Amino acid sequence: MVIQSIIHVLIAFFFFLACYMKMQNISEFKYEIMTYNVIPRRLAPLAAYLFLALEWVIAGLFLFHNKGPLKEVLAVGLLLLFALVLHIKKSGVQSCTCFGELSWLNRRPIARNTTAAAVILLNAAVVPGGSFLSAVESSFVFLSFVLILFLVQARSNHQQLKGVKAIE
């Protein structure tokens, strides 16, 4: 049960991080959706917000150990959709802007997404269910990850501001 809770927290954090980093530069995300040429350009902003909402919902479903296959179906479906669209866009895509400025997470997005989908499916097949206590524990660990993310982002912003002041 502990291992499943850790996996759920990591999956939730993965989707939260993807959502958070895309929101940092939503214009770039909308533009990237346009470049895929899969949907009409005028629908790209709507698609961007729908994807962000879906990532947020998936993170919440995993974080709070939603019972049933909904979280796995949504997560695997979204990951494979992104992998398929990236494959259609350009075979052998080496990077994307899925995680904004976290370039090390943007490498090999097709392999990353298919591996994440496999982990989610394997986790669902091995250990079903969850409890309220594990959801509370997972929430604490997840919020710790989020706090670390915000602290790293604040430090990065502070360093950028120091660089700008030094130039002036």
**Which one-letter amino acid corresponds to residue 166?**
A
Instruction: State the pLDDT at residue 133.
Output: 46
**Selection from 123, 126, 4, 5 nearest residue 75 by Cα:** 123
pLDDT in 10s for each residue of the chain, 168 residues: 677 778 888 889 989 998 998 898 889 889 888 888 888 999 999 999 999 999 999 999 988 877 778 888 899 999 989 888 887 776 555 557 676 666 666 667 777 888 888 888 877 776 555 544 455 555 555 566 666 666 666 666 666 666 666 665
Q: Which ranges of the chain would DSSP assign to H, the alpha helix?
A: 2-24, 26-35, 44-63, 70-89, 103-106, 109-126, 132-167
Write down the pTM of the prediction: 0.71
Instruction: State the pLDDT at residue 85.
Output: 84
Instruction: State the pLDDT at residue 93.
Output: 55
Instruction: State the pLDDT at residue 132.
Output: 46
Q: What are phi and psi of 111, to 5 degrees?
A: -65, -40
Instruction: State the pLDDT at residue 135.
Output: 54
**Which one-letter amino acid corresponds to residue 30?**
K
